[in-house]
Structure 1
Amino acid sequence: MTGLPFLSVVIPCWNEAGFVAAFLDSVLANDYPPDRMEILLVDGMSDDGTREIVARYAEREPRLHLVDNPGHSKPVALNLGILEARGDVIIRLDVHAVYQNDYLRQCVQGLVAHPEADNVGGVRRAEPRDEKLLSRAISLANTHPLAAGNAKYRIGASGPKWVDTVFGGCYRRDVFDRIGLFDERLDRTQDLELNQRLRAAGGKILLIPDIICTYYPRGDWREFVTWTYRSAYWAFRGSRTVGRWIGSWRNCVPLGFVAGLAGAAVLGPHSKLVRQVAGTVVGTYASMVLISSARVAKREGDPRLLVAMPVVFFATHVAYGVGSAVGILDPAGRR
């Protein structure tokens, strides 16, 4: 492992007392040379005990530094960390995940082995936060193509693949000199926007499926629906804010689904053709959802998922579709 570049690990954080200890344990257990890295946890002035936990870790771990972010903005936190970072390579990590002990090394070695790559990432495996049925169904849907589309960092890949975005991301430092920092106008999807800007400038993003982290999706119903809605909202509002489309075709599918349902509800009572087309579409959709749910239930050995998975799939599509529509129409998204 000689010759590895100096690595700066940048972590935006706010009120993560329930996750930050396990997260830090996984990062500190990584096998990247300790004298070749620094860890910058940028905290939005947490008031739930997060800062005290991080301070205890920092007392015994000289690589870890607590950076203040007087506000809750994630892109501001990322930019503060990047501006303070000393590394030739900068990797962004999420507190709602734990990382294999070779995660950092494999990301950096991916950059070294592929000089044409500007950003390297891996696969985000989802695990439930608890053993409740809903939490399990949400985590299983999180990595299923019916909910994740073709997002390779969620559904996986058979080998290294050039992609449009990755989870987190391990960047060469000169990327930020070339294209700028994260857009601080975007509460969410700032990584999506940065990666789209990187690709538009000729940069390349590489997914290496052997690089794995474990992510814990929102397991509470209200949190899950709100998170899904806001993710969609910011993908579309963010595009309007920056003046260009920052997403993928997969972001548009739920919008088309919800728009079709709304159109059928309005026009269906007045048109037999609309009712027939709507019936065919809904029937096909229901079949896809039930078949996918049955396969998941069989694979997991839990027949209860045959009921839970359709609910989660449908809620994902509707919440994302509605969030997309609001993001398009919200006057606050004007550039």
Structure 2
Amino acid sequence: MTAMPFLSVVIPCWNEARFVAAFLDSVLANDYPADRLEILLVDGMSDDGTREIVEKYAEREPRLRMVDNPGHSKPVALNRGIRRAHGDVIIRLDVHAVYENDYLRRCVQGLMAHPAADNVGGTRRAEPRDDALMSRAVSLANTHPLAAGNAKYRVGTSGPRWVDTVFGGCYRKEVFDRIGLFDERLTRTQDLEFNQRLRASGGKILLIPDIVCTYYPRGDFPQFVAWTFVTGYWPFRASRIVGRWIGSWRNFVPLGFVLGLAGGAVLGPRSTVVRRATGAVLGAYGSMVLISSARIARRERDARLMVALPVVFLATHVVYGAGSVVGILDPRPGQR
């Protein structure tokens, strides 16, 4: 522990009064050496009480500093924090999560134990924000392969492995000197773009699955739908902005599903073959959704999930795919 590098924790934040206290409690409870740690919470001038909460924590915790970020852009927040960081290692954390008390130490030890790694992260366990059925269904779907695809930081893996991205990320600071900072044109998916740029430069990203945090996805259904649309929109929109593809093949699956359904709806009335093909796709899809929902409902011992989970899975795929279509066709330049 005495040989641990100085660590800077960078946290973009805006209007997180509901979550920030529990988040800070989990970060401050970490067992990383106190004299080798600074915490930079970069706040977008919150007006919901977040700043007052953080200020009270900072009064009694000298490791914690609040940095102002007028405009509350997340990539600007990340870059402001990185520029002010004194650490040899920089870790990005999300306020919508709480972290095991060894999270910081084990991420840094992962970097030290794997010299080829430039970014290390762990798995993201999902928990509901409240006891509502839909909130539970959203959190359960969040880490299921039918909704998450092959995103290993969400669905898990049996051991450490090289991946295309991780949640948050623990970086050697020299990475930012080598390839630059986060792209401030990207309101979202700036982490995907950065990690794609890192891998294109020869860097590697390591997932260590037994490093764990708990994430609280949006459980209110309208908020979930809006978040899913934006999540589908931005990989394609961001790729157009930066001039190269930044995502994964998994981003194309919902897009293909939505385009297939649209094509079937348009051509089906004129073609028996198209109607049969569309019916076969929908039948196979419905079977996968029902089987997956039944297995989860049985594991959780809650039959109500047989109703809620199919709604969440269908919304995930259709709304994400619709967002992708808009991201491809949106004619506006720059940010949205």
Q: Tell me if TM exceeds 0.5.
A: yes
Structure 1 position 72, deviation (Å): 1.4
Q: Deviations over 1:86-123 (max 9, x none)?
A: 00000000000000000000000000000000000000
- Pairwise mapping of residues 23-42 of structure 1 onto structure 2 (< 5 A)? 23-42=23-42
- For the Cα contact (< 8 Å) 1:116–1:204, is it kept in 2? yes
- 2:264 alignment counterpart: 264
- For the Cα contact (< 8 Å) 2:198–2:204, is it kept in 1? yes
Structure 1 position 333, deviation (Å): 4.7
- For the Cα contact (< 8 Å) 2:289–2:310, is it kept in 1? yes
Q: Deviations over 1:123-143 (max 9, x none)?
A: 000000001000000000000
Give the aligned residue type for 1:13. Answer: C
- Pairwise mapping of residues 62-81 of structure 1 onto structure 2 (< 5 A)? 62-81=62-81
Q: Deviations over 1:65-94 (max 9, x none)?
A: 000001110000000000000000000000
- For the Cα contact (< 8 Å) 2:14–2:46, is it kept in 1? yes
Give the aligned residue type for 1:321. Answer: G
Give the aligned residue type for 2:192. Answer: L
- 2:175 alignment counterpart: 175
- 1:194 alignment counterpart: 194
Give the aligned residue type for 1:135. Answer: S
Q: In 2, distance between residues paired with 1:333 and 1:150? A: 31
- Pairwise mapping of residues 138-217 of structure 1 onto structure 2 (< 5 A)? 138-217=138-217
Q: In 2, distance between residues paired with 1:89 and 1:226? A: 34
Structure 1 outlier segments of 4+, above 4 Å: none
- For the Cα contact (< 8 Å) 1:128–1:219, is it kept in 2? yes
- 1:312 alignment counterpart: 312
Q: In 2, distance between residues paired with 1:26 and 1:222? A: 29
- 1:244 alignment counterpart: 244
- 2:302 alignment counterpart: 302
Structure 1 position 334, deviation (Å): 6.5
Q: Deviations over 1:250-286 (max 9, x none)?
A: 0000000000000000000000000000000000000
- For the Cα contact (< 8 Å) 2:10–2:42, is it kept in 1? yes
Q: TM-score, normalised by structure 2?
A: 0.99
Q: In 2, distance between residues paired with 1:224 and 1:334? A: 25
Q: TM-score, normalised by structure 1?
A: 0.99
- 1:58 alignment counterpart: 58
Q: In 2, distance between residues paired with 1:280 and 1:323? A: 25
- For the Cα contact (< 8 Å) 1:327–1:333, is it kept in 2? no
Tell me the percent identity.
79
Q: In 2, distance between residues paired with 1:332 and 1:301? A: 48
The number of residues matched between the two structures is 335
- For the Cα contact (< 8 Å) 2:185–2:334, is it kept in 1? no
Q: What 5-or-longer segments of structure 1 have no aligned partner?
A: none
Give the aligned residue type for 1:4. Answer: M
Secondary structure of the equivalent of 1:332?
A: coil
